[in-house]
Amino acid sequence: MKQNQPIGIFDSGVGGLTVARVIKQLMPNESLIYFGDSKHLPYGDKSKEVIVEYVTQITNFLLSKDCKAIVVACNTATANALKEVKALAKTQKIPVFDVISPVAEKVAYNFSQNIGVIATKSTIASHIYKKSIQRLNKHIIVEELATPLLVPIIEDGFTHHPISEITLKTYLSKKKLKNIDSLILGCTHYPLIFSEVNNYYQNKIRIFDSPLIVANHVKQEIERMKLLTENTTPTYEFFVSDLTPTFKKLAKKFFGAHINLEMKMLS
């Protein structure tokens, strides 16, 4: 494995771009290859078997691109198929990072006592956040709520819109989240509506910056493994299974107007 090999990142759509953007900021010399499986989103409504199938194909694609590390920038994929990604990457001795473990560790050793988690149906059904946090700190109360409408709303570009505001109010006003002092946005799409969530709570609770937590963890591990790229001009490649206006807009916003964006059909 060489330092100048790219880092592979994937998600069901645009959400993982929130993680990729911060990785770019923290490691400006790293080349990135991103795969957004926009044809099959949202993953949150799919069965575990189907998610594993999609994720396996994406992982094999990123491995074929000689990535030196893979970031599973999707909570649903992490909850349902992380074991499969690691098994495939292990054959090439490639490290795999997920978006749940670093956040759970950060939260478990914080001062929060009653934490809310909003995520897709599949992520909530796995109880992966609750299990991961309470394994580290059994005294923390974790309240989980499925918010399945948010990913389609974000993918369709209805952020900062009456539709997203009404939907958020409906979800966040649920009794289950009434007494929380902190909130985890348990889907990488959700940081794109961070300000709307914060406005609802009027800055009265802590909302964890998951992309920053994950990107910091990736950087620390890349440095520890002596794989950090230095003094090179990075390249950014984006592959999608279906080209959507929202993806194109966000990719250009986060990475600049001149990006390499290609369609890549999964078999």
CB 111 within 8 A of CB 81: no
- Residue 22: C-alpha distances to residues 25, 216, 254 (Å): 5, 9, 9
Instruction: Note if 67 is an active site residue.
Output: no
Which value, to the nearest 10 degrees, does the dihedral of the CA atoms of residues 5, 75, 103, 85 take?
-40
Helices 128-136 and 75-90, axial angle in degrees (round to 10): 80
Which one is catalytic: 58, 72, 74, 99? 74
Contact assessment for residue 84 and residue 67, using Cβ atoms and an 8 Å cutoff: no
Tell me which residue has tokens 């990142």. Answer: 9
Q: Which of 174, 170, 167 is nearest to 189 (CA)?
A: 167
Query: Which residue out of 77, 187, 207, 214 is catalytically annotated?
Result: 187
Contact 254, 34 (CB under 8 A): no
Residue 187 to residues 15, 72, 263: CA-CA distances in angstroms? 7, 12, 24
Catalytic residue status for 74: yes
User: 2: burial class by Cβ within 10 Å (0-12, 13-18, 19+)?
Assistant: exposed
Catalytic center residues: 74, 187
